[in-house]
Chain A
Amino acid sequence: EDQVTQSPEALRLQEGESSSLNCSYTVSGLRGLFWYRQDPGKGPEFLFTLYSAGEEKEKERLKATLTKKESFLHITAPKPEDSATYLCAVQDDYKLSFGAGTTVTVRA
């Protein structure tokens, strides 16, 4: 069975303090690794898809990277509006298996 583990569970940052979130996974046949952002009381919002080890994608202050066993989401110089829960998911065939997420709080 596919497993996705995210760490840390929670991360408190000062504005401008860069950090990284980890997503480790075990899957029989990886078809894609997805990062989503989820604000309280809302549905997940798609950020990135990564397909193969070594791939990187960037969007504003976020950068996602992928190895054969894990993915990192780097947040560079975060702002308070980056506060959210970041979910990682792996796709095996049709199904997305999600991690429990990392809740990031950025203080001004």
Chain B
Amino acid sequence: DAMVIQNPRYQVTQFGKPVTLSCSQTLNHNVMYWYQQKSSQAPKLLFHYYDKDFNNEADTPDNFQSRRPNTSFCFLDIRSPGLGDAAMYLCATSRQGGYNEQFFGPGTRLTVL
């Protein structure tokens, strides 16, 4: 089945220790998104890619970076995690153009000690 895969599902890191979360997709969608979702809150868009074109949300902290080496893979790098960065990180994909639904991965739960 075509899907969005996120690894790892659970990540524990220490305050200030860089961490990388990964997302891969078999849907062949050219748009990929990263969201942050804190407990009982709405998912918040961090950035997205149209193919290789990177689009950063204005309020996304500089501490968050992303890479997309090819159509299938996308990475979220948190350079110096703080306690406030503990959250669920969701990757999503969609087809470009029109009014297309986004398909989400299972998420990575990040804990910062």
B68 at the interface (CB under 8 A from A): no
Q: What DSSP secondary structure best describes chain B's contact surface? A: strand
A36-56 vs B, CB cutoff 8 Å, 1 = contact: the mask equals 100001111110010100000
Q: Which residue of A lies closest to B91 (CB)?
A: A43
**A49-108 with Cβ < 8 A to chain B:** 49, 51, 87, 91, 94-101
Q: Chain A: interface residue count, which band?
A: 20 to 34
Say whether B101 contacts A49, CB under 8 Å.
yes
Say whether B31 contacts A94, CB under 8 Å.
yes
A-B contact count (CB 8 A): 52
CA distance A43 to B51 in the complex (A): 22
CA distance A4 to B43 in the complex (A): 12
The answer, among A44, A51, A94, for a CB contact under 8 Å with B43, is A44
B97-113 vs A, CB cutoff 8 Å, 1 = contact: the mask equals 00101111111010000
The answer, among B40, B45, B101, for a CB contact under 8 Å with A34, is B101
The 4 closest A-B pairs by CB, nearest first: A43-B104, A98-B42, A32-B99, A100-B42
Can you list 16 contacts pairing A with B, beta carbon distance less than 8 Å? A41-B88, A42-B107, A43-B4, A44-B43, A44-B104, A46-B101, A46-B102, A51-B99, A87-B42, A94-B50, A95-B45, A97-B42, A99-B42, A100-B40, A101-B40, A101-B42
Known: A46-B102, A94-B48, A98-B42. 15 other contacts (CB 8 A): A32-B101, A34-B102, A41-B88, A41-B109, A43-B104, A45-B104, A46-B101, A51-B99, A87-B42, A94-B31, A95-B45, A96-B45, A96-B102, A100-B40, A100-B41
